[in-house]
Amino acid sequence: MRGMDILADAFAVNTDVADLSGLRTIKADYKHRILIGGQRTNGHGVGKISELGAEIAREETDKIIDSLRATDRFYDTDAFLVIAAAAGGTGSGSIAVLTQYLKERYVGKPVYDVIVLPFRQEETTETRTIYNTAMCLKSSYLVADAIFLIDNQRYVKKNSSAESNMAAINARAVEPFFNLLCAGEETSKRYVGAKTLDAGDIIQTLAGWTVLGQGSSRLPRRLPLCGPKRDFRDKMDETSKAAHSMDEAIGELSLTCEPKDAGRALFLVTGPPKEMRMEIIKQLGDNLRSVAPDALIRSGDYPRGKGSLDVTIILSEISNVKKITDYFSKAVDLISVMKSKRGLGYQSRKLEETFEDIPVLL
């Protein structure tokens, strides 16, 4: 869209042939759509058993890494981004295993996880949801450099089904990454900001639990004949539009959390070169400081596009994420209930041990 590469390559990994077949934007060859555990699951997935997902990922990490390494620009990449849903079996079980492996093998290259949290309705209808989510979050937290949290429930629109929402949710979840990843890769002077935000700033900002969001304000169309003569009202207008975009970005974070709990933050203003001025950055910096007083704030401008002023925000190193702590405490409760009942499915063989000594008539 902007004539530059922000992704060295993109791959999909799953234990389910059907899931891999349904993709639209990942290249269709076997190096890009990587089937793992084919022999163990017959290509039918792990049925929400994330321990099995983890086991298969451990056995087949080499297959995944071989595909990554076959990419031309593999050694140019600044970081790895590993994306999975927390509630399923395959992604939930594999993400931490793969992250750990990448960290050990490519020392010094950051590995960021993106974890998608389930819809509320999935939590109430499927016991495994909470358990998988808690295991996935904890495991990832132990190995990833940072974890972007995306809450499906946050993006749900009332009165429409989860399925019809999915494409819209995905679009909204990835949107903030676009300007963030483009800003530092621009080579054309026209699009390089006064204060460029590049991969180094992003890497320095990311640590631990992380959320992101984007807000946008439309700018009025200027008539070409009006020329450069602009009065003070225009200037005021643009600063307040940028402030509005920032409010929206904070209101639309990928998971509800308290900005005051962030240890690091970053914002990027994207808009037409003519509208971009350092006062805007300064004003937004002050605004963000007032809601996130403890955060170390980085910022930048990206003079690109027309018609709107966009603000992208990352809040990172968040010390207290209520939704995550809730998952952990619910999982602990669940585990003690399950222990006293019948296990969580995967260890059901243990039950067989209890009737081992009874003779069978077959």
Residues that bind ligand GTP (CB under 6 A): 14-16, 19, 45-48, 85, 87-92, 116, 118-119, 122, 152, 166, 169-170
> Nearer Cβ to ligand GTP, position 152 or 205?
152
Partner interacting with residue 303 (select from Mg ion, ligand GTP, none; CB below 5-8 Å by kind): none
Residues 183, 180: Cα–Cα separation, whole Å: 6
> Nearer Cβ to ligand GTP, position 214 or 217?
214
Residues 321, 257: Cα–Cα separation, whole Å: 6
Please report how close the Cβ of residue 141 comes to Mg ion at its closest, in angstroms: 23
Please report how close the Cβ of residue 12 comes to Mg ion at its closest, in angstroms: 11
Please report how close the Cβ of residue 19 comes to Mg ion at its closest, in angstroms: 5
Residue pair 283/237 in contact (Cβ under 8 Å)? The answer is no
CA 287, 288, 291, 296 torsion: positive or negative? negative
Per this entry, what is the length of the chain? Answer: 362
66 three-class SS: helix
Applying CB under 5 A, among 13, 16, 299, 304 the residue interacting with Mg ion is 16
> Nearer Cβ to Mg ion, position 50 or 245?
50
Partner interacting with residue 122 (select from Mg ion, ligand GTP, none; CB below 5-8 Å by kind): ligand GTP
Partner interacting with residue 127 (select from Mg ion, ligand GTP, none; CB below 5-8 Å by kind): none
The pair of three-digit structure tokens given for residue 66, joined into one six-digit string:
């071989």
**36-75 residues near Mg ion, rule: CB under 5 A:** 45
Please report how close the Cβ of residue 22 comes to Mg ion at its closest, in angstroms: 10
Residue pair 108/75 in contact (Cβ under 8 Å)? The answer is no
> Nearer Cβ to Mg ion, position 87 or 180?
87
Please report how close the Cβ of residue 14 comes to Mg ion at its closest, in angstroms: 6
Residues 218, 248: Cα–Cα separation, whole Å: 13
- The residue whose two tokens read 């970081």 is 79
The pair of three-digit structure tokens given for residue 176, joined into one six-digit string:
């903030």
Give the binding-site size for Mg ion (rule: CB under 5 A): 3
Please report how close the Cβ of residue 324 comes to ligand GTP at its closest, in angstroms: 16
Q: How many other CB atoms sit within 10 Å of the CB of residue 177?
A: 18
**Residues ≥6 apart with Cβ < 8 Å to 313:** 176, 212, 213, 214, 215, 246, 249, 250, 253, 265, 266, 267, 288
Residue pair 317/261 in contact (Cβ under 8 Å)? The answer is no
Please report how close the Cβ of residue 16 comes to Mg ion at its closest, in angstroms: 5
> Nearer Cβ to ligand GTP, position 87 or 250?
87
Partner interacting with residue 91 (select from Mg ion, ligand GTP, none; CB below 5-8 Å by kind): ligand GTP
Residue pair 43/15 in contact (Cβ under 8 Å)? The answer is yes
> Nearer Cβ to ligand GTP, position 156 or 297?
156
Binding site for Mg ion (CB under 5 A): 16, 19, 45
